[in-house]
Amino acid sequence: MPNEPVTDGAVRRYLLDPGELTPQTLEQTLSHAWSRACDYADVYLQHSQHESLMIEDGVVKDAAFTLEQGAGVRAALGEKTGFAYSEELSPGQLLEAARAARSIAHGDRQARLPQSSSTPPPAVCAYDNPLQELDMERKIALLREVDETARSLSGEVKKVTATLASTYEVVLVASTEGVYQTDIRPLVRLSVSVIAERDGRREVGGYGGGGRYGYSRLLEAGAPARFAEEAVRVALLNLDSQEAPAGAMTVVLGSGWPGVLLHEAIGHGLEGDAIRKGTSAFTHLMGQRVASPEVTVVDNGTLPDRRGSLRMDDEGTPTQNTVLIEDGILRGFLYDRLNARLSKTESTGNGRRESYAHQPMPRMTNTYMQAGTHSPEEILASVDHGLYAVGFNGGQVDITSGKFVFSASEAYLIKNGKIAHPVKGATLIGDGPSVLRRVSMVGDDLELDEGVGTCGKDGQQVPVGVGQPTLRVDELTVGGTRMDGG
Amino acid sequence: MVAESAPAQALRACVQQALHQARQQGATAAAASLERGEGLTVAVRLGELETVEREQDQGLSITAYFGQRRGTASSTDLREDSVARTVEAACQIARSTEEDPCNGLPDEERLAFEYPELELHHPRDLDSDEATRLALQCEDAARTDSRIVNSEGAEVRRYDGVRVLGNSLGFMGAYRRSSHDLSCCVVASDGNGAQERDYWHSTHCDWRKVQDPETVGRIAAERTVRRLGARSLSSCVAPVLFEATVARSLLGHFVGAASGRALYHEASFLLGRKDEQVWAEDIRLIERPREVGGVASAPFDAEGVETQERVVVDGGVLRGWFLGSYSARRLGLTSTGNAGGVRNLSLETQTPALSWEELLQRLGRGLVVTELMGQGVNQVTGDYSRGAAGFWVEDGAVAHPVHEITIAGSLPDMYRGIVAVGAEPDRRGSLQTGALLVDRMQIAGV
């Protein structure tokens, strides 16, 4: 069987050996699922360890460990898919799941897994298990550092919560298209939330980040203190915030996490399932101008160590750097195997699933806009009156109408090219297929987010990344509470 | 007590075993819960079968206490050695985390050692062929309107689960629950390239009470077609009528702010507002967790504490919180049986509820909201700003559909500013209310 020794050892230890599974069992499972009438079948084995640890009011508690493992078996015939899963990694349960999955068709067909080594896609991260990297005392010390830093910064900080979470996941994918791939996917995240109080007014500030590495990387980068400082800064700032304006106006979006704009406004609408079904507002826009000429947007799963990165997707396809919009022209959609096959194109390595108990579908990885030529100062200076939004909570889109929202958590009013004062959080709403045409300036300061994003689609959550340089959008509707806008 | 099948007894034995092992490893107290379920989902699209999915879930969760230190571990692998490792992981975490004087099992006298049968389990022997037929009927009904040009499909789902909960105070409870769902989502076109999508969903633990396929399909089509021709609005201040389907979210924000963690963490705009006027004067909120056959009913909460009917808001005055044992101790109060959430919270009005036509008349000139988007709700301050779609109303009649707008205000003002409640509550979830008419909000558009 192919693949390199590191993943091989983990695959045997966590996925195959405990239930006495062998590559032959997987071949039998596939053969069973892959009836004469079917186009495709795959089996996905997953073992996932997760731990989380929280400090609240100075006490480290709510520590939890979760073990999730199982196998999902899928059989496809045209647009029909049969799917079944089991929590038990045993030959009997795999065959049982295969039998249920192929209920859409009948009769066995012999599947063959590759006998010679095929080159696995290059790694996007190291394979160490973050759960085993630090002992409990050092994890507690890390959380204490966050708590103490936050409290030391201001007497107005009343509440501090910090959560440390890590996952170690081992997966194996085998399919009737000759795929036999394995992967190890570590993921860590530290998030901080503070509440500050002044004269009876309370405001919240939050910050977080992480990626596909261990806790030591967070420590080396000084994350505990830096994240605490950021969270406190935002909370104190919000204590001074005034009502946000209401109505359509020029909006300058900061670099990094505000790239959630791209994820909502265009990313979801370019996913191959919605394109194939014709339910996306972008369905017939391929090759057309959907953004101003300064705008180039990609989805790139190959970036090292990023939260949204994977060396292969959950169908064993290597991830890639897919150009979605090039110089303002729509160039690409995101595909998994099923939708690629039905659309007579190739998978772009975007077939992702939350777990063995979910079916893969086209999902984003790290979605970002390439840098332009303007300095952020120049962009701000160009605006007479508008909103400067640098922190966001998240967003949502209706891919059919194209309408999307995203909610600011840190924003300022711009007056005469200068930042006037902070304003309260507000939701921004726009139209996906047209919003990027109103991008009149693209900054030279591309940044990716710190590693906090989780994307939900049809009830499935997967980690993603976003990014962008500072942007000027000439008109976007801002949902504040103050009408005059002055 | 619930009548038990042999598998349920095996699950109880597994919970007992985990509790026993925790004690053996030195835990001073422990609680364990086990859930297992099995289901079938069939989806059709454009008249063809699309997906057949068999679900089979199981999970064990164990919480171990070493004095006032706590550790939790869970696993989907229920083999004996894996259960032992899960217990060990919980104990290991408990030994190494810090003491919290509020940690511990619920007070013994609050545990539901006896509980009623709530008739939540109505299994249906529905195979994939029959489920396909129902889904096709549903989608066909939606596609009879010529403006429906595309479909995300119709879906039929059945699920049958059992929950077993035990702790080292000798509590052991179990109940079974089924759920039956039918949903349909279609796309309409105005013929000029603009498309709109909407859906309808019916759910119940008793399959006989799920809306029939034709009704679900017809409502899905109506909700979609009525959005065609939507445009934005000029920014303005106006009254806003939340349709029952979205009015439920306003109850959700209230529950969030009235829940234990938000209170002891001082992350709530309701902090210190107990016994004050928080809602309009004629509003009552009642929780009925033991409603027979209720959509979110449960005989005991996630800690085994008895659930009970109670009034949370009376005459608009806030009378109670939503607490589990831990948050109750933090606040110096007692558990309200809300560990794991709220169950059948119903908004009722002491003045007569209004029909939809009466509500539109009462609205006069303003906005009807049928969809809300985004996360723009701040639980700490009560600030509210969300994307919305719906209808503009003039002289009590719908003028045109609207989209690409936001509505903004503050939740305390919105709750006190409710001037009318609709007569037809949406009872599909744990939060149940009719439409709510709020006197004024800021609308932002073009």
User: Under CATH, which architecture does the A5-239 domain have?
Assistant: 2-Layer Sandwich (3.30)
pLDDT for A37 equals: 73
pLDDT for B186 equals: 98
A169 touches chain B (CB under 8 A): no
Query: pTM score, two decimals?
Result: 0.95
B409 touches chain A (CB under 8 A): yes
**Contact (CB, 8 A) for A360 and A314:** yes
pLDDT for B322 equals: 98
Q: pLDDT digits over B114-153, tens only?
A: 999 999 999 999 999 999 999 999 999 999 999 999 999 9
- Nearest CA to B160 out of B7, B340, B12 is that of B7
Beta bridge partners of B150: B187
- Nearest CA to A352 out of A293, A402, A291, A299 is that of A299
pLDDT for B192 equals: 87
Q: Which residue of A lies nearest to B72 if distances are taken between CA atoms?
A: A64
pLDDT for A485 equals: 43
**Contact (CB, 8 A) for B360 and A402:** no
Subunit contact B76:A69, Cβ cutoff 8 A: yes
Q: pLDDT digits over B22-56, tens only?
A: 999 999 999 999 999 999 999 999 999 999 999 98
B72 touches chain A (CB under 8 A): yes
Q: Rounded distance, CA A380 to CA A386, Å?
A: 9
User: Could you report the predicted ipTM of this complex, rounded to two decimals?
Assistant: 0.93
Mean pLDDT in chain B? 96
Q: Check whether B93 has a pLDDT greater than 60.
A: yes
Q: Token pair of B24, please? A: 């053996």
Task: Give how far Cα A401 sits from Cα of A301, A434, B78, B408, Å.
Answer: 28, 12, 45, 22
- Nearest CA to B188 out of B160, B229, B137, B233 is that of B229
Q: pLDDT digits over B380-429, tens only?
A: 999 999 999 999 999 999 999 999 999 999 999 999 999 999 999 999 99
Which domains are present in chain B? 6-225 (3.30.2290.10), 236-444 (no CATH)
Q: Where are the beta strands (DSSP E) in A256-320?
A: 297-300
Q: pLDDT digits over B340-395, tens only?
A: 999 999 999 989 999 999 999 999 999 999 999 999 999 999 999 999 999 999 99
A247 touches chain B (CB under 8 A): yes
B39 touches chain A (CB under 8 A): no
Residue A65 is nearest to which of B51, B93, B195, comparing CB atoms?
A: B93
Residue A393 is nearest to which of B52, B187, B375, comparing CB atoms?
A: B375
Measured between beta carbons, the chain A residues lying within 8 angstroms of B74 are 64-67
B308 touches chain A (CB under 8 A): no
Domain(s) labelled CATH 3.30.2290.10 in chain A stretch across 5-239
Distance from CA of A478 to the nearest CA of B (A): 7
Subunit contact B100:A278, Cβ cutoff 8 A: no
Measured between beta carbons, the chain B residues lying within 8 angstroms of A404 are 373, 387
Residue numbers in chain A where pLDDT is lower than 50: 1-2, 485-486
Q: Which residue of A lies nearest to B270 if distances are taken between CA atoms?
A: A202
pLDDT for A486 equals: 39
pLDDT for A85 equals: 95
Subunit contact B385:A425, Cβ cutoff 8 A: yes
Rg of chain B taking only CA atoms, in angstroms: 24
Name the B residues in 89-118 with CB < 8 Å from any A CB: 89-90, 93, 96-100, 103
Measured between beta carbons, the chain A residues lying within 8 angstroms of B403 are 401, 403
pLDDT for A115 equals: 61
pLDDT for A106 equals: 62
Q: Which residue of A lies nearest to B237 if distances are taken between CA atoms?
A: A483
**Contact (CB, 8 A) for A66 and B93:** no
Residue B406 is nearest to which of A202, A424, A427, comparing CB atoms?
A: A427
B235 touches chain A (CB under 8 A): yes
Distance from CA of B226 to the nearest CA of A (A): 14
- Nearest CA to B59 out of A357, A243, A461 is that of A357
Measured between beta carbons, the chain B residues lying within 8 angstroms of A395 are 374-375
Q: How many CB pairs (< 8 A) connect A and B?
A: 256
